[in-house]
Amino acid sequence: MSTTIDDLPRPDVWGWIRSHQRCVIFATIAFQMIVLSSMIVQHGYTLFTGDSILLRVIPVDPRDPLRGDYVILRYPFSNLWPQGYGHWDESRIGSEVFVTLEPDSDGKHWNGSMASWTRPATGRFIRGKVRNSW
């Protein structure tokens, strides 16, 4: 006599879930809380472990007739180009650029001193991306 797959006992998954309903609901809620908490911790890690650096900003006209009032900030080092790239090069859109920071004379603020395509080995710097010619 041969045994077919229909003759084998099947586990009653739905019956098990119904009998452990509280545990399943608790595990589902715990999993969602862990995922959401990890997302918060991942993005907040830099805020908790990093240093605060004050930069001087250049305000840009924040009024737009279609979008209303909002804030656009520029920095004095926004127009720094890495050495050897004094002109606009469209092939660099999306590239990472690193600006080395040095303390200002007032001791509170920081200024961008030099831009580079490679990450500085030491010192404080800001990592950015090239977006457009401005």
Q: In terms of domains, do 45 and 64 share one? A: no
Residue of 11 and 122 predicted with greater confidence: 122
Rounded to whole angstroms, the Cα distance separating 116 from 102 reads 14
Residue 130 burial (C-beta neighbours within 10 Å; 0-12, 13-18, 19+): buried
- Residue 31: the pLDDT is 97
Establish if 41 belongs to a structural domain: yes
Q: In terms of domains, do 60 and 42 share one? A: no
Task: Report the amino acid identity of residue 39.
Answer: M
Q: In terms of domains, do 79 and 121 share one? A: yes
For residue 86, give its domain range: 54-129
Establish if 65 belongs to a structural domain: yes
Establish if 93 belongs to a structural domain: yes
Rounded to whole angstroms, the Cα distance separating 64 from 116 reads 34
Establish if 43 belongs to a structural domain: yes
Asked if residues 35 and 27 have their Cβ atoms less than 8 Å apart, the reply is no
Q: In terms of domains, do 90 and 29 share one? A: no
Q: In terms of domains, do 58 and 120 share one? A: yes
Rounded to whole angstroms, the Cα distance separating 55 from 108 reads 9
Residue of 104 and 81 predicted with greater confidence: 104
Q: In terms of domains, do 104 and 44 share one? A: no
Establish if 30 belongs to a structural domain: yes
- For the full predicted model, state whether its pTM sits above 0.85: no
Q: In terms of domains, do 59 and 122 share one? A: yes
Q: In terms of domains, do 60 and 29 share one? A: no
Q: In terms of domains, do 60 and 119 share one? A: yes
Q: In terms of domains, do 29 and 64 share one? A: no
- Residue 45: the pLDDT is 85
- pLDDT bracket for residue 22 (50, 70, 90): very high
Rounded to whole angstroms, the Cα distance separating 78 from 58 reads 10
Rounded to whole angstroms, the Cα distance separating 79 from 107 reads 23
Establish if 134 belongs to a structural domain: no
Q: In terms of domains, do 68 and 114 share one? A: yes
- pLDDT bracket for residue 37 (50, 70, 90): very high
Residues constituting the chain: 134
Average pLDDT over residues 107-132: 86
Return the ∠ at Cα 63 (arms to 57 and 67), rounded to 5°: 115
